[in-house]
Structure 1
Amino acid sequence: MSKSLISRRPVIRRGASSGGQEKAAGAQSLLRVLGWKPFFQQQLSLDELTDCEPVRVMAVHRGQLEVSGERGDEVVLVHGPLFDDAEEKPTVGDWLLLERDSRKPLRRLERSSLFRRMAPGAKQVQLIAANIDNVLIVTSCNHDFNLSRIERYQALVKEAGCRACVVVTKADQSDAHEQYREALKSYRDLPLVLVNALDSASVEVLREYCRSGETLSLLGSSGVGKSTLLNSLAGSELAATAGIREDDSKGRHTTRHRALYAIPEGGLLLDSPGMRELGLADVSEGLTAVFSDISELAAKCRFADCAHETEPGCAVRAAMDSNELDERRVRNWRKLEREVKRNSRTLAETRAEERAFSQLVRTVGGHARSRKSGEN
């Protein structure tokens, strides 16, 4: 079994209750450690409470899922209608209901949050993770630090409704810490922490984001120290690490697939491959939240379709001219807005094509069955 599955089981303290009660209490305690919350419990019917077991997806492979639940770690084969839709199929962090005896996956529970991106070079989305509570946006004290990229990640996090923190690693390799604090001082709802990911004491402040029963995700480029940070938080070597090219601070992919890991305090930590491309789609609300100051100014422009370039009465342009608004920030806002509209339109067209094709298949199948019935 892959070490990505939970290796640390909670100690269930047994009291004077009956064996059945002890077993039920132990199962519930284990599920809570895995991130089980009332939000998921309330989705179960009375029959499902009796006939099914909830399990959490810990890792996804081409032909199988690694899951963990009240029985421990097991493998579920990927087949059936549950896995047909690219946008609806289970991903890391999802909760599935398995039939108690056959261990067949029956359905996926509704998600509390979902991270996804446009698949590079494709017309569909790629699921990143589900049911995440908190996010560390990881960058480093070198060429990787990029406000526009941080805003891109922040839009994704805002759309999902998660709590976020920017973590700047490799703080031991730079004395210019103030420049990073200065760069993010206007982002009042986005805390900044500078750490040496190799030093467990340095990352101690981040433990508030991975309390027992909560799931923490690390997002960032390759080589910024996500896997090293994960290992320091976990107190053991869970993920492989590698160096970077010093001339351009570019990293190499050490994490090959997304997986959940356990940490000593009982929280779960998601490690994922570095993403050089994070195409955004269907994150309009997240984008508005990240750039709320610009959106409020844009609402004051004289023209509703103002492009914020040379139009008279443009409140955004006036704020830039008076240095109240950073021109870089406005450029990135425009870029991301165009990208989200373009990708959302592409997804809508792709979904329409898939629905039309499915309808065609059903129609052809129906005609074939009718002819066969008539021949008989």
Structure 2
Amino acid sequence: MSSSASSSRTSAFFAHPLAPYGWDTGWEADFAPYAAAGLLPGRVVRVDRGRCDLATAEGAVHADTAFVTPHDPLRVICTGDWAAVDPHGEPRYVRACLPRRTSLVRSTASDRSEGQILAANVDHAIIAVPLSAELDLGRLERFLALAWESGAQPLVALTKADLVPDPVTLAHLVQDVETAAPGARVLPVSATGNDGVELLAALVTGGTSVLLGTSGAGKSTLANALLGQEVMEVQAIRDVDGKGRHTTTTRNLLVLPAGGVLIDTPGLRGVGLYDTGAGVDRTFPEIAELAEDCRFHDCAHESEPGCAVQAAIQDGTLGHRRLESYRKLQRENQRIVAKTDARLRAEIRDDWKRKTASGRAALRAKRGNAR
């Protein structure tokens, strides 16, 4: 193909009405069978009770999702999906969704161990951590495991940085978070003073970003700063406990002025893991690296001889808090997976029996020595 023809196709692509929403040649190729059937592509910008709003080449469309409401909760249509819409009839219907490139999933509070999809086709996960309260590194590590598992690149935004005027204290806080978030960029930002916002906007330009955090983390204020206008409602933080109420009640996809789109989510009270084994390993890469030097390949990093992880704890190169957090997330993820994996349930049960028998034998030996 000549360079002029290639340039012409590139120009035509960037002139596509859905380009600001992330439409590219890959999505165009995936959508080709639906286009041949006369369907219209659109990106889901909001979902609410079986209906969704989409951005299409013909403008905003309000459509029914009845045709794509499966029993699997991970396949329900969500904000960020690319969908095929029937352009005719009232109401309009979403006929199908394109395969997702990434998906952000957490575990629900139900006993059935179901997953809940929070956002689809996300490139960056911006985790808002407020400096208005004491850092909760364990919760941050949960968000990081969620983000890494999704396939998105996590970014940590330390919001309300203006509340820490001492630069030395702020630098120490950034360093603590960087230690808990290897592989993720950590940025102190002040949405009210616009400090750090431009750098964060530059990092997420051109892709799809999702904003995560607890209630009162300053997500809506940060979203307004990134959008350059007051789009999201902002509520004051309670003086009693420093927490905020849910300002955002739905997941909304909005176009960023510098390029790319932002999905703002409601504050998450709980961050349950859902089959995030790889995500946990990405969150604690130093432990996974140390484990390669353990004497036993199935080392539990507790009291086994030749354990490189315990050796790192002893010489101070690995913090005890990091190891305990790693163990906690591994156990939780294992329990979630075991609910739907009979083989894993059996392995956990056998391991528990072995440890119980070992403990009883040690107790009997101790009593015998005492006599």
TM-score tier (shorter): 0.7 to 0.9
Would you identify which runs of 4 or more consecutive aligned residues in structure 1 move more than 6 Å? none
Among 29, 37, 41, the alignment partner of 1:42 is: 29
What is the aligned partner in structure 1 of residue 157 from structure 2? 167
- Structure 2 Cα separation of the partners of residues 263 and 81 of structure 1: 29
Aligned length: 326
TM-score (norm: length of structure 1): 0.80
- Structure 1 Cα separation of the partners of residues 239 and 303 of structure 2: 42
TM-score (norm: length of structure 2): 0.81
- The worse-fitting range, judged by mean Cα deviation, of 191-200 and 91-100 is 191-200
Secondary structure of 1:137's counterpart equals strand
Contact 1:141 1:171 in 2 (8 A): yes
Aligned CA distance change for structure 1 residues 221 and 208 (closer, same or farther; 3 Å): same
- Structure 2 Cα separation of the partners of residues 169 and 324 of structure 1: 29
- Structure 1 Cα separation of the partners of residues 68 and 151 of structure 2: 29
Structure 2 residue identity aligned to 1:53: L
What is the aligned partner in structure 2 of residue 92 from structure 1? 79
Q: Which consecutive residues of structure 1, in runs of 5 or more, have no partner in the other structure? A: 1-20, 350-376
Among 131, 140, 156, the alignment partner of 2:146 is: 156
Among 123, 141, 158, the alignment partner of 2:131 is: 141
- Structure 2 Cα separation of the partners of residues 26 and 299 of structure 1: 47
Aligned CA distance change for structure 1 residues 73 and 81 (closer, same or farther; 3 Å): closer
Deviation at 1:273? 0.8
Structure 2 residue identity aligned to 1:135: A
What is the aligned partner in structure 1 of residue 358 from structure 2? none
- Structure 2 Cα separation of the partners of residues 226 and 75 of structure 1: 26
- Structure 2 Cα separation of the partners of residues 64 and 223 of structure 1: 28
- Structure 2 Cα separation of the partners of residues 71 and 347 of structure 1: 43
Deviation at 1:27? 9.6
**Does structure 1 residue 206 correspond to structure 2 residue 196?**
no
- Structure 2 Cα separation of the partners of residues 344 and 128 of structure 1: 19
What is the aligned partner in structure 2 of residue 287 from structure 1? 280
What is the aligned partner in structure 2 of residue 128 from structure 1? 118
Deviation at 1:49? 4.0
RMSD of Structure 2 on Structure 1 (CA): 2.3
Aligned CA distance change for structure 1 residues 189 and 264 (closer, same or farther; 3 Å): same
Structure 1 residue identity aligned to 2:146: L
Structure 1 residue identity aligned to 2:97: R
Contact 1:114 1:129 in 2 (8 A): yes
- Structure 2 Cα separation of the partners of residues 66 and 196 of structure 1: 31
- Structure 1 Cα separation of the partners of residues 70 and 258 of structure 2: 33
Aligned CA distance change for structure 1 residues 328 and 247 (closer, same or farther; 3 Å): farther
- Structure 1 Cα separation of the partners of residues 281 and 205 of structure 2: 29
Q: Which consecutive residues of structure 2, in runs of 5 or more, have no partner in the other structure? A: 1-7, 343-371
Deviation at 1:25? 5.1
Contact 1:113 1:160 in 2 (8 A): yes
Deviation at 1:96? 0.5
Structure 1 residue identity aligned to 2:120: A
Aligned CA distance change for structure 1 residues 225 and 81 (closer, same or farther; 3 Å): closer
Contact 2:215 2:243 in 1 (8 A): yes
Deviation at 1:144? 5.0
What is the aligned partner in structure 1 of residue 103 from structure 2? 114
Contact 1:143 1:248 in 2 (8 A): no
**Correspondences of 1:252-331 after superposition (within 5 Å):** 252-331=245-324
Contact 1:144 1:224 in 2 (8 A): no
Structure 1 residue identity aligned to 2:190: N
- Structure 2 Cα separation of the partners of residues 117 and 148 of structure 1: 16
- Structure 1 Cα separation of the partners of residues 34 and 256 of structure 2: 34
Query: What whole-Å deviation, never above 9, does each CA across 1:321-344 have from its counterpart, x for those lacking one?
Result: 110101101111111111111112
- The worse-fitting range, judged by mean Cα deviation, of 250-259 and 72-81 is 72-81
What is the aligned partner in structure 2 of residue 193 from structure 1? 187
**Correspondences of 1:360-375 after superposition (within 5 Å):** none
Among 4, 21, 29, the alignment partner of 2:16 is: 29
